[in-house]
Amino acid sequence: MSKMAVPGKLAPHNIKFLASISPDVVTHRFYYQESPDPVTYDSAYVSLGNEKDADGYINADLAALLGSMLLDGIYNVGVAAIDDNGNESPMSKANDYPLDFVAPDAPGPIIKL
Amino acid sequence: MQSNLFKKLILFLIFFSIYSYSWAWEEFDYYLYKGSTGETTTVAWDDQPYDPNVPGSWCPLVKFQIKIYNVERDIYFWIDKAIPRNVFEYTYSFPKTGHWISMIRVDQKCELPYRDPASPECNNHNEVDKEDGHEYSEWSESTNSDVSIVNGMARGWWHFTWIAAPGPF
């Protein structure tokens, strides 16, 4: 029986990585692919933008970006930078990365004793 | 009949131009140094030895113009710099992706701020101050043997740059 996703409150899933040093980068992409398939440029992705903190890191909450996709499992993931011409950098990858954006089933109804 | 031939010729030309453009990036199937845009890279040129007959070679500091040319985009960037005569290397970053040729030329005017007062050639060359403009040498392409040896020859003008990857997370 497949697990039925229900609405709920997802815990934040924060990641950060050093932004590309290339001067004409306009955005970064987070790619994800269910393991064991390798993550590639054809995998699904979300855009992370190019807003850096004071130390040059891009920060993102994957739960906010991917929460509606109901991902729950082990994934091969990667981030890449895209310049103003649409060219894409090599990907920084992490394999066997757990993602869980499915809230547990609600408990049963409250019974007044 | 003639009209059909003309149409075929036009279609062929359109196809050929699109085909050629699509392969423009692959046309340069070699590069001597690969790096990332934004990453600093040092390029170098052959030393210009002192020569009493070569204006500019007298001065301890010489005004150079450095040009980096992007082959695919047909664009170039200029850098004007006064650097010591015997230091023929420069460090900068390439701002766009693609193949680059780095070139340098010297302003042979031996301008007053850069002269060595003890140099007789400089002191005898005062007339250049009266003239406007510059007197540039021919362009020289970079030759940095540290980063580019092909078949035993130092040929360092090709740099290929791509977007730098983000860091790990």
Residue numbers of the domain that contains A63: 14-100
Question: Is A20's CB within 8 Å of B162's CB?
Answer: no
SS3 content of chain B, % helix, strand, coil (to 5): 20, 35, 50
For A:82-111, CB contacts with B below 8 A are 82-83, 85, 87-92, 94
Euclidean distance between CA atoms B63 and B104, whole angstroms:
10
Average pLDDT over residues A22-36: 96
Q: Is A60 on the interface with B (CB under 8 A)?
A: no
Structural domain contains residue B110: yes
Structural domain contains residue B11: no
Round the CA-based radius of gyration of chain A to a whole number and report it: 17
The pLDDT assigned to A37 comes to 97
Question: What 3-state DSSP class applies to B105?
Answer: strand
Question: Is A58's CB within 8 Å of B165's CB?
Answer: no
Contact between B130 and B112 under an 8 Å Cβ cutoff? The reply is: no
Euclidean distance between CA atoms A61 and A70, whole angstroms:
15
Euclidean distance between CA atoms B138 and B82, whole angstroms:
17
Residue-wise pLDDT for A33-49, tens only, equals 999 999 999 999 999 99
Contact between A58 and A15 under an 8 Å Cβ cutoff? The reply is: no
Q: Which one has a higher pLDDT value, A60 or B169?
A: A60
Euclidean distance between CA atoms B79 and B65, whole angstroms:
6
Residue numbers of the domain that contains B119: 29-162
Q: Which of B93, B97, B165 sits opposite A87 (nearest CB)?
A: B97
CATH number at residue B81: 2.60.40
Tokens of B157: 């003008």
Euclidean distance between CA atoms B5 and B109, whole angstroms:
60
Structural domain contains residue B74: yes
Q: Is B24 on the interface with A (CB under 8 A)?
A: no
For B:106-135, CB contacts with A below 8 A are none
Considering its fold, how many domains does chain A have in total? Answer: 1
Average pLDDT over residues B103-128: 66
Q: Is A24 on the interface with B (CB under 8 A)?
A: yes
CATH number at residue A47: 2.60.40
> Cis omega before residue A36 (within 30°)?
yes
How many other C-beta atoms can be found within 10 angstroms of the C-beta atom of residue B55? 20
Considering its fold, how many domains does chain B have in total? Answer: 1
pLDDT at B87 over 60: yes
Euclidean distance between CA atoms A11 and A31, whole angstroms:
20
Contact between B109 and B135 under an 8 Å Cβ cutoff? The reply is: yes
Average pLDDT over residues A21-33: 96
Tokens of A50: 């190019």
The pLDDT assigned to B22 comes to 41
Structural domain contains residue B5: no
Structural domain contains residue A34: yes
